Every structure is written in structure tokens, then in C-alpha cells.
Structure 1
Amino acid sequence: MPTSKEPKFYDTPLPHTIPAHLPLPGKSPDWPFLTIGKWKIEVNNYAESWREQLAIWRTEHKIRMGYSDAEYRHPKLQWAQKNIVHTQMMVEDRYFYDPHTRRYTVDRYLDDLEQRYGGIDSVLVWYIYPNIGIDNRNQTQLAHDMPGGLEGLTGAVRDFQRRGVKVFLPTMPWDNGTHDQGQSDWDAVTALALAVGADGVNGDTYNGVPGAFRAAADAAGMKLVFQPEGSLTSDEMLQWNHQTWGKASTEIIPAVSKVKWLESRHMVNLENRWCRDRTDDFQYMFFNAIGYTSWENVWGIWNGFTARDGETLRRLATILRTFHRQAVSPDWQPYAMALQQNVFASMFPAGGVTLWTVVNRNEYEVGGEQLTVDHAPGRRYYDLWSGVPIEPLVEGQGLETTATFAFTIETRGYGALLGVDAGAACDGLDEVLATMRDFAARPLQSFSGAWTPLPQQLVDSGATAPRAEAPAGMVAIPGGVFNFEVTGIEVEGYTWAGMDFQYPWESTARRAHRHRMSIAPFHIDRYPVTNAEFKRFLDASGYWPEDDHNFLRDWIDGAPRAGWDNKPVTWVGLEDARAYAAWAGKRLPREWEWQYAAQGLDGRIYPWGNTWKAEAAPAVFTGRELPPPADVDAHPAGASPFGVMDLVGNVWQWTDEYVDEHTRAACLRGGSFYEPQTSHWYFPQARRLDQHGKYLLMAPCKDRSALLGFRCVMDAA
């Protein structure tokens, strides 16, 4: 039976246990993770020997890889060593951009994070996934489609930097199915980072950003920090990857980060995007004195911090930011002498100041003597977590003198001890003690740990003047009792509360929906709105959007291309579609109206029946350069039971919009003919009538798409 006091050393949770007969650390340099004694070894009995073996392994490992720490010593890259709280920010977050004023609102975004958990040190500005793949715009083009283009993005980057926040841009090695950008990823992303003044690059799906990125940045005269999503598959990459994302251990004994042990100045930011109780993450973070990825808006699904987790991160980050020099010390010692069962500590000495971080893994409060440390004459001690001086029990003499400290640690809580040697400088000590003393006035357990999803609201599409007869070009849809059943086809999110949409009759957003409802009669356009019809609208109304980037991008000199009159109009945003509908005395369809008009009452999977028919929709296209959509009347075999046409497989169609505090998203129906290859991360198709897509909204310039059009409805008398 394994003991609960067993130290271990790895970057990701162990997939299995290691039999005792396998080599100890230091004798197996290629072992993917290292541990000592899975069976009967006590931490305090073996930690010193374990650290000695791992120090030998570290030295040998660096020699074998020809390790150089030149990049960690470079002045322009050392900010990464203090990058404690990092976040991935969706550009669609409503705290980041206001489409009504057409302004980036970086201060509002940062003020919210400071209020809830003490703020961030760096941000990954995420403008690509999950919308990429709705058409063939590649990852670089999507950066240009941000509000204001690269100039607007540059302004947002500078707003972050003005607040002391470093900025990362993403790169995605899997984006090889959209428009060919004509250059390598490393050259493209370096040019983009140079253009907007970014500080670093995050390598999505990379287990180590390749050295070609460092070479390209150096050639451009930029010192970028590289941060792969995964742990390094090659330790050699540690030399130019200054940061990584990491995964926490959930076992009782907090693991030791392998990459931090190899290079103490390397910053690991733990990432656990779907976690709702982050205690395991935070305790692993504090034990290793590493950073955190405070990701809450996950692909438009809000997984917000609980009040307790927010307050915990505020306190941990305050300590690690203040004592970042100690946190990156090469002399750190995991598994310092902790005296209580399932309480663990690490020691971080530098410049005559020593920080001990302590975590209580128990589900109960632990009081009494907690730590015993080597004592130095004249050293002053502080209970840093409580913000007050502390007097230890000093025993022994000479080099054998020890100091033992008694204090209380909350349930699954934290402690921090500070030792300041005689004559050592400790800048900011009084300020941090006062701050921590104020924090300690309220225990962490008094903050709520309850997680709740954000409520969503359906945006009202209004009503039209009722018409008894269907106008020309529209089909009369009789009322009926309809079993509305649909599922969101999204790449991530499982079946968690808070994902997809919250219909008016539902208590929370969810992925799968079923509702028997009575639908009033209405009229619907037989075909999607065509280029010719939209041109008549422009000529008659004089409409032109304020945000006109990408508006009617396929047109030439203000008119559809030759032969395109009868194709569905695309490159129109939700706002543009609503403007057309209002001009025509119509509105956009509710999603259930669209589905009812396409499906009828028999629950069929496609407008024409339950099996796919090639002649009923355009052929699927898998290339990189998009052909135009088909004419709206090119596939009469695709008619619905009511005679509505071109519903599936040509271009996506706008229906409803949903909003919550942080996200706007549109419900798209019908799918398109485009299936970009090389990755399953592209915007997924939803051609079945029991499926829809969720399309995140930011601004018309970015929301418009080559494969997104619309049709209208009108209320019946």
C-alpha cells in the first residue's frame, strides 16, 4: 500500500505507477518523468538523497544536450521569469471590444481581472479558433480582419503594454487547409509580431515551439518569448522556449516540475481550462513557485473563477510577484522539512532572503508545528501568509541549529514563511506584509467556492407587419405543434452547463435541446437572398455600414461579379442582414422557424429525407482556394416538404443571436460546401437539420464570411 508521503517529479500526471525494480532517477536520463519510491518511502526520510540524485541527473542531462542559458540571461527576455499570471483572451469577449462604439476596451478588460483576482502579467490575444474554417481565411488573414486591421490590433497591444501586460500572439501548425499564406509559419508570425509590437508567441498544439521561430525572430531583430501549449517533448527546446503551459497533479503529494528543475528560470503556467475547483492547480503552482494560466472564456464558453479561487490566485500571485527572484533560484529545494501529514513545503533562497511555500492537502485545518528549517544567526522570520513577524523555536547549536515554526493552515490552504538574513536587503517587505495582513483578515474558506454558469439572453428579432398571403418569392408555412430538437456541433466543451445556447424555456445554456412547441404561421423566403436582391436594396436604401471591412468582399466596383446575380449574397454581417430585412419589411428567422420550414413535422434529417442525396446540394469542396457558391436554384432536389430551397450545404445562414456578459454568438444553420483539410479543429459542419453551429461574434469586419448568407421571414396574419 503506497504511503501518502511520497515525493515525485514530473510535468504531467503519472499514467501508471512505477514498479520498485525500475532504475532510480539519475540512472535513466531518458525517462519521461521521474519519481522516487512508489511504495514505502517517506518524503522527509528520503528527500535529501532524492534531490542529490536529481541534481546529478540535471547536470548530466544539460551536458548531454549541450545546454546554453544565454537566452535566459538576455535582458529583453527576462520578463518571462516574472510572468506569474498569464491568460488566453478571446477577442470576442465583450469586455475587450465594444462593437457599438467601435473601440477596444482594454482598460475595462484589465480592471475586471484586477478586481476579481489581482490582474495578469501577460495575455494571449486569441483571434483564430474556433471560427477559423468557416471559410478559407487563414490564421494571418484573421489578424488583419480585426477591427481597425493591424493598426487597430497594434493599438490594443499598446494598451495592454501601457498597463504592464505583455502580449502573445498565437501560431497554429495545423492550419494547412485554408488559403496558402505563401510563407512559413515562423516567417509569417514573426512579421505579424513585428507589425503589432507583440512580446511573445504561443505555439498552439506545440510540445515545444521549433527553433526556426527563434531564428526568424532573431533575423528580424526581435527578442520574442516562445510559449508552447504542451510540455517539451525535447529538453533541448528548453533553451529557447522560456515558458510552457503545464498540467497540475491531482494526487495528494504535489509533483515537482521537471522543466523547472532543469532550468529554474523557465516559467511554467499551469493550464486547466475546464476546471471548476482550481485548488489542486494552485497548490501545485505554489509548491513549485510557478505561474498560472487564468483562462475563463474558453472558446466563448464562460468557465469563470469562483470567488474563492479568484481570491486564492490574488494572494499566491502577490507573493510570487514580490519574491520572483527567490522563485527562480537554482538552489530551490522541493520537499523541505514539513512536519504534518499531507502538508508539503518548498524552499527558495536567493540574496539572503528565503521563501518557503507551504500547502495543506488535507480536507481539514492543520495547526501546530509545521516546518523545521536550518537557522542562521540574526535571521528575521515572517509569517508571510498572515503578514506578521513570527518567532520560531530555535534548537541546537552551530551548524546544527534549527528553527521550528508553528502556525495554522486552513483546510486545503496555504502558508508562506520568509527568512531575511542579517544585513540582507528585502525591498518591498513592509508593503507586502501590510497587503498580506489585510488579505489574512478574511480566511479563504469564507469565500464562496460555488460555480455557476452565466445566463444567456436571446436577442429579440422583433416582428413584422403581418401578411395574409405570402409575398412574391416567399413560401407560406402553416402553424403547427413542432418537436424542436437540435444539438450544437462544437469542437470542444463536452456537455457542460454553460456551453452552446440557452433557449428562452431553458434554465441554462446546454449542448442538446428538445422542446415541443406551437409555431404560429409565417412566410419564409423560398431562396436565400441573392446578390442581385441585395444590390437592389443598396440602390434603393443607400445603406452602407460604418464598419465596412470585408463588406461584399467578392463584389467588384460596387456590383456582383458577372454571372453571380443568382448566387447567395455573402460577406454580409448579421447587422447587414438585419438592415436588409428591415428594408424589405421582413426579419431574420428564429432558429426553430428555419428548422420547421426545412424539416416539417416528421423529424427528417435533411430537407428531402433521411439519407444524403448528392444531387440535392453542392458537392463538398476540400481545396484551399474557394470556388463561388452555387446558384440558389441549382439544386431543386433539395426542396423541403414546404418547397423551401437551398437550405443545406451551399452557404451557412444567419438566424438567432445570443448574448451573455462576456460573449455574443450567432446560431448558424444549414452548413456549407467547404471542408478544409489537415485538422479536425476547423469550424465543424452542421448540414443535418438536428444540428447547428455556434459562431462567435466580435465585429462585422471579422464576422463577415465568404460562406455565410441569409434568408428572411415575415409574420403571417
Structure 2
Amino acid sequence: MRTINLLPGLALLVACAGNPGKQDATGAEKDSLNKMVLIPAGTFMMGADDSTGMADEYPKHSVAIASFWMDEHEVTNQEFAAFVKATGYVTTAEKPISKEELLASLPPGTPEPDSSVLADMMAPGALVFTPPDHAVSFNDISQWWTFTPGTTWQHPEGPGSNLDNRGNLPVTQVSWLDAQAYAKWAGKRLPTEAEWEYAARGALSGKLYPWGDEALTTGKPKANTWNGNFPYNNTKTDGFYGPAPVKSYSPNGYKLYDMSGNVWEWCEDWYDANYYVQGEKGAQNPPGPAAGFDPDDQGQAKRVIRGGSFMCSDEYCRGYRVSARMKSTPESGLSNLGFRCVRAVAAK
């Protein structure tokens, strides 16, 4: 069985159908994919760099990382399309949900939904950002997220959307499982959370952002984030409303693009809110916790996502800080969630 978020905090168990997965990428196909950047080995202090971080970002602790290769930008729609064409892969959001599995997932005593509601709940789909036109409470995320049948990576804002002129945008509406499948085909893997933060810092020490400590609003736009009042008024000061084409902003010190904003990025690790407290000091290449733990939603194990997105703002979500941690269930697809890959040096 697998668990998918209809809305964050509302889970649904559905069958895990297999994918055809025909073969690994050929040499020519790999050459056409994302350029990789060599990240040198080193030691860094992982965790929040000031007092404004969330509880799960403390304590700061020393971590040693071996050298590795990392995609210079997020995997694009064009690159993901090449994977699907080569393998026939079917993403999580494209798989239908059976009535039996849907009903079995509901809490005991829940009456069966009427047929029209049931049909919508059984349809393949994913979560779509649907902003209101007025101010709303930040405590009710259903005000700007809607589970929309027909939403897939090819229709990221719902069935009426498409990828026309969006080949160079980061692929979204892909689950952790989908990202894993792509990475395996490409001869790569997802980064660990520690690798991701180390790379995002770009050789800077103790800084809030990939570019340093300078505020987002100072000087020229540095990342694709929310400008204005979230979630109803985006002034597009940075030039974009939704996802931006990769490499639209200056890279960090390691020549990596969009390590802050644009779309969240899947990491390999399970998410455990207490991992830093329990973790071993001076860890080398930590793989993350053995299991997931989210104190706000203890019934669902989640994977780490990093980097923030075009929906992050100072007034709501400061996920574009290099130490910021977030999470989602491995089967979830979102309008603002994608990934990039890494590879061991020996494999290059």
C-alpha cells in the first residue's frame, strides 16, 4: 500500500501499481541530461544560522561530506519527458485509486461518500496551488491547496494546463517515488539532506542563504519566491508568478542554480523532527534517520524536501534559507515540488 496526501495532514491509502521501467538511460541520453557540478569534500556546520529557524533546525552540528557530483539545476520537464519516453514510466499522480482501497483508508465509522464525491476521490490527480483573491488565515492551507483530478507532471496546474513552452521549467507533480525512478534511470540518486545543505551553502560558512546574508529584497532578484502578500497577491517583483525556467538567477559558490526558491526538492532521507537532537556529532556522510517522524502528523512517515519554492515569503514560509527543513509523504505531488540528482565521484 502507499499513502498519498489529498491535502497535507489528510492521507489516503491506495494500491502501489508497478511501472514498466524498460531500461537505463543510454550514453547519448545521459549526455543530454542536466550538467553535473563537482562538489568538493569538506566539513560544515549543519542547522540554523540564527535564532529565527524552526525547532527542527537545531542544534547546529558538524558534518563531514565526501566529494560528489550534483545536477547544476533542478530536473526539467524536458529531461523528465525523455525518461518517460524511454521507459514508459507512469507517475504516482497518473494512477487511479480503487473504491475498495479508498474506503479502507477512511477512519473507522466514516460514512461512505456519495457517488459524485467518491468518483472525484478515486480519480488520479495531485495537489494544485489555487490561490484565493483575498487574505486568509495561514492556519488553513486548504485555502490555497486543492486536490485536483487530472493533475500530472504534464498537466501541473490541472487538466486544462500543459507543458507548452515549459520544457526548461523544473518538473513538478512528481512524487519521491517518481524522483527515485528517474534517478535510477539516469544513473544517479537523490541527495541526502546533509549533502543538499552542504551544496546549497556554496562554500559559505554561517550564512542564511546560498548568496550570503543579504535580504531577498535588497538589490537585484536573487531567487524565485513570493513577492507581495501570500497567498492572494504576488507582485512578481522577481519576474515570475509560478516556477521559473532553471538558471534564471545567479548560481551559488559551487555554480549550482536555484538552491533557494523556485521549487522544493526531494531528498533521500526520511524526515524526523528530532534527528538533529539525536544525531551523532561530527557525523560523516550521514544517511538520515532509519524511519520518519513528524510530531504534527504522526500517522504518516515523510521524506525531506529542501530549498523552498516560489510560494515562500517572509510573512509565511522562509523555506528558502539554506537550513530550512520541510517534509512530505513519498507519494505526494505538488505544484511547487521537484528534485535534482547527485552521483558519487567514483561513478563519474
TM-score with structure 2 setting the length: 0.58
Listed one character per residue, the Cα deviations across residues 504-549 of structure 1 (whole Å, up to 9, x for unaligned) are xxxxxxx513221221100000000011111011001111035522
Measure, in 1, the Cα distance between the counterparts of 2:339 and 2:299.
26
Partner of 1:481: 43
Q: 1:525 to 1:488 in 2, by over 3 A?
A: farther
* Residue of 646, 669, 676 corresponding to 2:258: 646
* Residue of 322, 331, 348 corresponding to 1:689: 322
1:666 positional shift: 2.3
1:138-287 alignment runs, 5 A limit: 146=12
Task: Specify the code of the residue in structure 2 equivalent to 1:576.
Answer: D
- Are residues 1:618 and 2:224 paired? yes
TM-score with structure 1 setting the length: 0.30
- Are residues 1:670 and 2:296 paired? no
Task: Specify the code of the residue in structure 2 equivalent to 1:515.
Answer: H
1:618 positional shift: 2.2
* Residue of 235, 245, 270 corresponding to 1:631: 245
- 2:47 match: secondary structure: strand
For the 8 Å contact 1:623–1:676, the answer to whether it is kept is no
Measure, in 2, the Cα distance between the counterparts of 1:521 and 1:663.
33
Measure, in 1, the Cα distance between the counterparts of 2:321 and 2:159.
37
Q: List runs of 5+ in structure 2 lacking aligned partners.
A: 15-30, 95-124, 127-151, 235-240, 272-291
Measure, in 1, the Cα distance between the counterparts of 2:264 and 2:162.
19
* Residue of 325, 334, 345 corresponding to 1:705: 334
* Residue of 67, 80, 89 corresponding to 1:521: 67
For the 8 Å contact 2:204–2:253, the answer to whether it is kept is no
- Are residues 1:576 and 2:185 paired? no
Q: 1:488 to 1:668 in 2, by over 3 A?
A: farther
Partner of 1:657: 270
1:625 positional shift: 8.8
- 1:608 match: secondary structure: coil
1:402-421 alignment runs, 5 A limit: none
- 2:343 match: secondary structure: strand
- Are residues 1:99 and 2:7 paired? no
Task: Specify the code of the residue in structure 2 equivalent to 1:671.
Answer: G
Listed one character per residue, the Cα deviations across residues 434-468 of structure 1 (whole Å, up to 9, x for unaligned) are xxxxxxxxxxxxxxxxxxxxxxxxxxxxxxxxxxx
1:616 positional shift: 1.3
Q: 1:565 to 1:476 in 2, by over 3 A?
A: same
Measure, in 2, the Cα distance between the counterparts of 1:716 and 1:542.
29
Listed one character per residue, the Cα deviations across residues 304-337 of structure 1 (whole Å, up to 9, x for unaligned) are xxxxxxxxxxxxxxxxxxxxxxxxxxxxxxxxxx
Listed one character per residue, the Cα deviations across residues 458-491 of structure 1 (whole Å, up to 9, x for unaligned) are xxxxxxxxxxxx9960100111122222489999
Partner of 1:592: 194
Q: 1:489 to 1:563 in 2, by over 3 A?
A: farther
Task: Specify the code of the residue in structure 2 equivalent to 1:578.
Answer: Q
For the 8 Å contact 1:480–1:520, the answer to whether it is kept is yes
Listed one character per residue, the Cα deviations across residues 99-152 of structure 1 (whole Å, up to 9, x for unaligned) are 17x9xxxxxxxxxxxxxxxxxxxxxxx975xx48xxxxxxxxxx7x8457xxxx
1:565 positional shift: 0.6
1:675 positional shift: 4.8
Task: Specify the code of the residue in structure 1 equivalent to 2:223.
Answer: A
1:689 positional shift: 1.1
For the 8 Å contact 2:208–2:321, the answer to whether it is kept is yes
Q: 1:675 to 1:480 in 2, by over 3 A?
A: closer
Q: Greater relative contact order (Cα 8 A, min sep 6): structure 1 or 2?
A: 2
Greater share of helix: 1
- 1:580 match: secondary structure: helix
- 1:654 match: secondary structure: strand
Task: Specify the code of the residue in structure 1 equivalent to 2:2.
Answer: P
Q: 1:648 to 1:554 in 2, by over 3 A?
A: same
Partner of 2:207: 604
Measure, in 1, the Cα distance between the counterparts of 2:248 and 2:173.
21
1:447-596 alignment runs, 5 A limit: 473-486=35-48, 500=56, 511-545=57-91, 548=94, 549-550=125-126, 551-552=152-153, 553-554=155-156, 560-596=162-198
- 1:691 match: secondary structure: coil
1:712 positional shift: 0.5
1:601 positional shift: 4.5
- 1:476 match: secondary structure: strand
Task: Specify the code of the residue in structure 2 equivalent to 1:646.
Answer: D
1:714 positional shift: 0.4
Measure, in 2, the Cα distance between the counterparts of 1:546 and 1:644.
28
Q: 1:663 to 1:619 in 2, by over 3 A?
A: closer
Measure, in 2, the Cα distance between the counterparts of 1:625 and 1:571.
23
Listed one character per residue, the Cα deviations across residues 241-284 of structure 1 (whole Å, up to 9, x for unaligned) are xxxxxxxxxxxxxxxxxxxxxxxxxxxxxxxxxxxxxxxxxxxx
Measure, in 2, the Cα distance between the counterparts of 1:558 and 1:547.
15
Larger radius of gyration: 1
Measure, in 2, the Cα distance between the counterparts of 1:560 and 1:483.
42
1:662 positional shift: 4.1
For the 8 Å contact 1:670–1:687, the answer to whether it is kept is yes
Measure, in 2, the Cα distance between the counterparts of 1:676 and 1:127.
24
Measure, in 2, the Cα distance between the counterparts of 1:625 and 1:539.
38
Equivalent residues, number = 236
Deviates more, 1:569-578 or 1:472-481: 472-481
Measure, in 2, the Cα distance between the counterparts of 1:619 and 1:547.
25
Listed one character per residue, the Cα deviations across residues 621-671 of structure 1 (whole Å, up to 9, x for unaligned) are 434499431111111x2x111111111121111112232584312222111
Measure, in 2, the Cα distance between the counterparts of 1:591 and 1:489.
21
Q: List runs of 5+ in structure 1 lacking aligned partners.
A: 1-97, 103-125, 133-142, 149-469, 501-510
Task: Specify the code of the residue in structure 2 equivalent to 1:672.
Answer: S
RMSD: 3.7
For the 8 Å contact 1:486–1:692, the answer to whether it is kept is no
